[in-house]
Amino acid sequence: MSSLGRTRLLQLASQAFPIGGYSHSQGLEAAVESGLVSDEASVQRWITDVLMFSIATYELPAMGSMSAAWPLCDGSVRVLNQEFLATRESAELRAATVQMGFSMRTLLKVLPGLPDWLICTLDTIVEPTLPCVWSGLATAWSIPLLDSSIAYLWSWAENQVLVAMKSVPIGQSSGQRILLTVGAHIAALAEQAASPRERADSNFAPGLAILSSRHETQYSRLFRS
């Protein structure tokens, strides 16, 4: 990857990239409310489990398929996007990926230098998901799948730590210890997801689905999901 590609990758993974991830806990706030997550150790366990049993085993392989489909320009990206939407287990998880995907698509329209094929294709998708738009931008910026996958996992994990700092709460030192431990898993999970022979293609995380559904009616909350 070129130096410019690395710079673009840092921009893509930055918390300053305005796609609205900060407003979603992805079920973590419900886990805190239920008492399943209450300290540094349980935050680390929650983040690691969701990464291993949901994000890395299904979301990343789905994004990999979209990445392979983008250069084809044959409409398969739209089909894969719809298939991914159908796997979201709760209304909030579905709304979160659509909201971030929509926000990212809106941002791309005002960024200079992006190819017409990216913007035109995204405009044909009624509900673009985050993996769909993310993979399209990574393709346009010539960022390899493995690197974009690592950035995707890191961005998600970092946001989870920020959520935990507000809702558990935990301190900044605890957050950095969690990221240090979780970061050790991210490269291996991304490599597995990027290899067609090792993809799990499994999204069996019933606890996450149940807690996300409960969050929809949670009385007091800070986050949208």
Find the mean pLDDT for residues 77-90.
94
Q: Does domain 27-215 have CATH number 1.10.4190.10?
A: yes
Q: How far is the C-alpha of 48 from the C-alpha of 51, rounded, in Å?
A: 5
CB distance 190 to 153 below 8 Å? yes
Q: What is the pTM of this model?
A: 0.94
The residue count of the chain comes to 225
Give every CB contact of residue 10 below 8 A, 6+ residues apart in sequence: none
Where in the chain are the domains? 27-215
Tokens of 91: 């209304």
Q: 129-142: buried (b, 16+ CB within 10 Å) or exposed (e) per residue? A: bbbbbbbbbbbbbe
Residue 202: pLDDT band by 50, 70, 90 thresholds? low
- 145-155 in b/e burial notation, b at 16+ Cβ within 10 A? bbbbbbbbbbb
Say whether pLDDT at 10 is over 90.
yes
Q: For the segment 106-123, what is each residue's pLDDT rounded down to a tens digit? A: 999 999 999 999 999 999
CA neighbours closer than 13 Å in the CB half-sphere of residue 56:
26
Q: How would residue 158 be classed by pLDDT, with cut points 50, 70 and 90?
A: very high
Axis-axis angle for helices 91-108, 130-140 (nearest 10): 30
Run of H or E including 215: helix 206-215
d(CA 29, CA 215): 8
221: left (phi over 0), alpha (psi -120 to 50) or beta: beta
Rounded alpha-carbon distances, angstroms, from residue 84 to 6, 108, 200, 220: 28, 21, 15, 30
What pLDDT is stored for residue 98 in this prediction?
96
Query: How sure is the predictor about 57, in pLDDT bands with cuts at 50, 70 and 90?
Result: confident
